[in-house]
Every structure is written in structure tokens, then in C-alpha cells.
């Protein structure tokens, strides 16, 4: 496939990622977790983020609740399809 045939598909994917990023930023004020800002930053800057991500402000259980809440808002989606080790992204 030549580059000019793939270009419209890449533009559609970029537009979809931009739309999902805006939606994630729009639901950020609704989040109450202390470490939510760190997770939002990682989701916007990385391809995928582990569902068991921990930080000094976010425990493993708080991260699980945060990702569940983000999924309820349809701001992120689960990428791995596995129940034990989940990856989230835009």
C-alpha cells in the first residue's frame, strides 16, 4: 500500500485520538482521587497505562476505582481484554 492510500486512515485515527483526549480532559474535574492528575498525564502521553499503576498518591485499589470511573464516563477504554492484567488507553 502506498503512503497516500494510508494517509486518510491516519488522519481519521488522529482525529479520533484528539476527540478522546478532549473527552478525558472534560471529565477530569469530576474525579476525586488525589493521584488522578498523574494518571491523566500518563494517559495523554503514553499509548497504554497499566491498570495497577501505583504512585505516592494513588494505591492499587484507588487506581482500579479510578479506571472504572473513567470507563463509566467513556473517557478511556480497556485495551488488553484480560481480567487479571488490564491496560488502559485512549
**How does pLDDT run across 4-33, given as a tens digit for each residue?**
566 777 788 888 888 988 988 889 888 888
DSSP string, 4-38: HHHHHHHHHHHHHHHHHHHHHHHHGGG---TTHHH
- The full set of domain ranges for the chain reads 3-89
Share of the chain above pLDDT 70, in %: 93
pTM of the model: 0.79
Whether the CB-CB separation of 74 and 50 falls below 8 Å is answered with: no
Going from the C-alpha of 76 to that of each of 22, 66, 73, the distances in angstroms are 11, 11, 8
Amino acid at each position: 500500500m502506498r503512503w497516500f492510500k494510508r494517509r486518510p486512515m491516519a488522519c481519521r485515527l488522529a482525529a479520533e485520538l484528539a476527540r478522546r483526549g478532549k473527552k478525558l480532559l472534560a471529565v477530569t474535574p469530576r474525579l476525586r482521587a488525589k493521584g488522578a492528575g498523574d494518571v491523566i498525564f500518563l494517559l495523554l502521553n503514553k499509548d497504554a497505562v497499566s491498570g495497577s499503576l501505583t504512585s505516592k498518591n494513588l494505591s492499587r485499589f484507588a487506581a482500579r476505582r479510578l479506571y472504572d470511573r473513567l470507563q463509566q464516563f467513556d473517557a478511556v477504554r480497556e485495551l488488553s481484554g484480560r481480567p487479571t492484567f488490564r491496560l488502559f488507553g485512549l
